[in-house]
Structure 1
Amino acid sequence: MTFAAANSVTADVQQQVHQSVTALDQLKDFILAYGPDVIYAVIIFIAGRYLAQFLKNLVSKMMTHANYDTTVNTFVSQIIYYGIMALVVLSAMNKAGIPTNSFLAAFGAFGLAVGLALQSNLSNFASGLLILIFKPFKAGDWVSISGIEGTIKGIQMLNTAVITKDNKAVFIPNSVITSSQVTNSSYLEERYIPFLFDISYNNDHHKAIDLLKEVFQKDKRILNASSIEIGIKEFADNSVRIAAYPRVRNHDYLSVYYATMSKVKDTFDQNGIDIPYPQRVVYVQKQEDILPPSEDTGSSS
């Protein structure tokens, strides 16, 4: 090897060593400048992930304890988890020095587009959250919503399933529920049965009321038999209407209703109390009674 070649190799080695030292210096400067922020970003991500998981499990346990539907429980807990994780990731990126303005703008534009495309569905989703928060009903309750009456099967993301008396599943949008009147017959443990009995004007209403009281007192499922509210409600066209309001437990409502109706019919029949039906009185007049008498136009002789 010549002296010139040796000098060339030495120069190359020195250049590579200088580049390596420069790279190490740059790496050291980068670590000193951004290292703490990167470490803080990692800590934020790890702590935020544990926090999101903790809140997810906490909400899931609370909803399970409150007897919420399993589907709704899973959905809400997942929404909470991923919502918190999105904030955690953005916070970590911002702490690490990565600009997040472009991400926020992209997410905003995406959210606006999705919101415009799914406006009605988002309304149903928000209404579903309101139903979960205020709990006007729960699975198994007997409700009446917009003319639909049945048992709540489950509260879903966009609608609520109701099973009708004839075993049909009706899915009502959640936004309709929050903007309509909801009648929950299972909200309280006890209910009143509003009875209305018609008797003839020729019958003794005192006797009819006493017979009704006897019927109610014999049924042990009626809770207010000794102090039941009962009396004449109105004088109808064809009958005297007697109202009665026995109080029963929710699960006894239908059985007491049907049994009472049957027992009252038998009792009225045995005691000569008539249950009238609509009647009309029709007056018929002869034609000669309606037309004026004709004048005699003949000439006399």
Structure 2
Amino acid sequence: MHIPATGPAAPWPKASPNVSLNIIITHEYFIKTLGIVITWIVAWVLVRYLSRWIQAFDKYIEEVDIDTRELSTLDRLLDYAVVTVAAVISAYILGLTEALYSLLTAAGVIGIMLGFAIKDVAANFISGIIILIDQSFVVGDSIEIGEYGGIVQKISLRSTDIATWDGPVVSIPNSTMATEAVINYSINPTRRIDVTFSIAYEEDINNALDAVRTIVEAEKRWLPDKGINVYVSDVREYAIDVRTLFHVPAADWFSVLMDFRLAVLGEFQRREVELAVPVRKTVYVGEIPRTAGGPQPGGVKE
């Protein structure tokens, strides 16, 4: 049997360098393309559904009524921001770093110029968003800010309208509402009545204290769990001050205050307790100014 001679095994064909390079390049392009596609898919979803999410947020915050035009403006601004971010990410993925840096530099310069031009509008707009999210006050609340006080009538993205106690409506920029101290009388369910009566010196102070306490205890809107404080708060030149502190529901504060003052005055009249009246004394040194009766000796004129 003849066995043919065998030589060394033939080597496996080596991969061409060009083929390996093509594979790497193809893989890199695939990753970049996938990243860009995902970026713009996310951007498309955000642009498509942002308006719905904003409307849902507006409905969720029932106490705040955002104008339809303001919702549309906010939606457009957010859409522009999403597209801009997507474009920057795409440029970064493609390796356009130099162009990206130039673009960002130019955008920064333009942004600074626009910022100086519309800083007040932007501040009001951003403050409006913060107010809507924070909800430190809502429509219908009784608030006081600076020299203005009244009922919150409307909260927009640029300003807040307050119907003042006198009737006129004042529109205050949201940047002011967000930075200055706002007193909200509607957050707490109760509010304190604080009234001081000035009693004449010759009156029976215990009788006056009892009269005030009797009126408070007869008030049906008074909250007994908060207690009553009726005490002498000051002794002045011509009067003794009686201070009264008690709590009532916040919604009834103004009406209770008016009714309480009238009731105390009526009780004082019934008990013959006189309120203090300021008395001015004029002291003349020497001769009193001439009157119809002629000169008179110096003295005291009340």
- Per the normalisation by structure 1, the TM-score is 0.73
Question: 1:210 and 1:188 mapped to 2: Cα distance?
Answer: 30
Pick from 37, 42, 62: which aligns with 2:37? 42
2:158 matches 1:158 = yes
What are the superposed Cα offsets for residues 196-251 of structure 1, whole Å, 9 maximum, x if unpaired?
11211111111111111111111111103883111111113332111111201111
Query: Does the Cα contact within 8 Å between 1:200 and 1:274 map onto a contact in 2?
Result: yes
Structure 1 stretch displaced more, 138-147 or 63-72: 63-72
Give how far 1:56 is off: 6.0
**Deviation at residue 184 of structure 1 after TM alignment:** 1.4
Q: Do the aligned partners of 1:199 and 1:240 also contact (CA within 8 Å) in 2?
A: yes
Kept in 1: contact 2:64–2:132 (CA 8 A)? no
Residue 272 of structure 1: CA displacement? 0.5
Single out whichever of 90-99 and 143-152 deviates more from structure 2: 90-99
1:70 is paired with a residue whose SS is: coil
Q: Matches of 1:36 and 1:71 in 2, distance apart?
A: 43
| 2:250 counterpart of 1:250 | yes
Shift of 1:102: 4.7
**Deviation, structure 1 residue 89:** 3.7
Q: Which amino acid aligns with 2:37?
A: V
Please give the residue correspondences for 1:199-214 in structure 2 after superposition, counting only pairs within 5 Å: 199-214=199-214
| Coordinate RMSD, CA, aligned | 3.2
Q: Could you tell me which runs of 5 or more consecutive residues in structure 1 were left unpaired when the two chains were aligned.
A: 1-29, 291-301
Residues 3-22 of structure 1: matches in 2 within 5 Å?
none
Residues 1-301 of structure 1 aligned to structure 2 (within 5 Å): 37-38=32-33, 40-51=35-46, 57-58=52-53, 61-62=56-57, 64-67=59-62, 69-71=64-66, 74=71, 79-95=77-93, 100-224=100-224, 227-283=227-283, 286=288, 287=295, 289=297
Q: Which runs of 5+ in 2 are unaligned?
A: 1-24, 289-294
Task: Select the structure that is richer in strand.
Answer: 2
Task: Tell me which residue corresponds to 1:27.
Answer: none
Deviation per residue, 1:17-56 (Å, 9 max, x gap): xxxxxxxxxxxxx999857644542332122332465666
Normalized per residue, the structure richer in helix is 1
Identity of aligned residues (%): 23
Q: 2:80 & 2:222 partners in 1: Cα distance?
A: 52
The whole-number CA distance in structure 2 between the counterparts of 1:225 and 1:272 is 31
State the alpha-carbon separation in 2 of the partners of residues 95 and 276 from structure 1.
84
In 1, Cα distance between equivalents of 2:182 and 2:27: 64
1:91 alignment partner, SS class = helix
**Mapped partners of 2:265, 2:56: distance in 1:** 52
> Secondary structure at 2:157's aligned position in 1?
coil
**Given that residues 226 and 247 in structure 2 are in contact (C-alpha distance below 8 angstroms), is that contact kept between their aligned partners in structure 1?**
no
